[in-house]
Amino acid sequence: MTRQETLKITGVTIDGSGNAKVLWSWNESGGKPYVEGSAVTLPEDMKKANSFLVRSELSVQHTMLLFFGSPAGSEASTRTITINREFYYRQRLGNDVPCSDCG
């Protein structure tokens, strides 16, 4: 069984009109998952004009062991689900968070 996990981290710059764009991006294999300057959709409460965010996206496959039938668990099977999470962070100092190896 192959396990698939993906991680993407993106620097998002927000202009004075609240338009969000990719400043840089990075994934777990060292690639750039998003094109620099492309538009980013953000939750409304994160659209602060003239600001910067770091967005992280994590996707993990999880295999569950399921039991069916009698209380003794006479039948068992597995089911694989994908858990996806997205988080946003603001920098504490300065105007942005640089990424020296993101391009």
Burial of 53: CB neighbours in 10 Å, binned 0-12, 13-18, 19+: buried
Indicate whether 96 belongs to any domain.
no
Task: Please check whether residue 68 lies inside any domain of the structure.
Answer: yes
Sign for the pseudo-dihedral over CA of 68, 73, 78, 84: positive
Q: What tens digit of pLDDT does each residue of 27-39 get?
A: 988 899 999 999 9
Amino acid 98: pLDDT = 85
Tell me the whole-structure pTM to 2 decimals. Answer: 0.79
Q: Is residue 95 part of a domain?
A: no
Per-residue pLDDT of 44-54, as tens digits, reads 999 999 999 99
Provide the residue range defining the domain that includes 35: 5-90
DSSP assignment string, 25-55: EEETTS---S-TT-B----GGG--TTEEEEE
Residue 75 lies in a domain: yes
pLDDT of 85 higher than 90: yes
CA dist 53 and 12 (Å) reads 5
Strand, coil or helix: what is 51?
Answer: strand
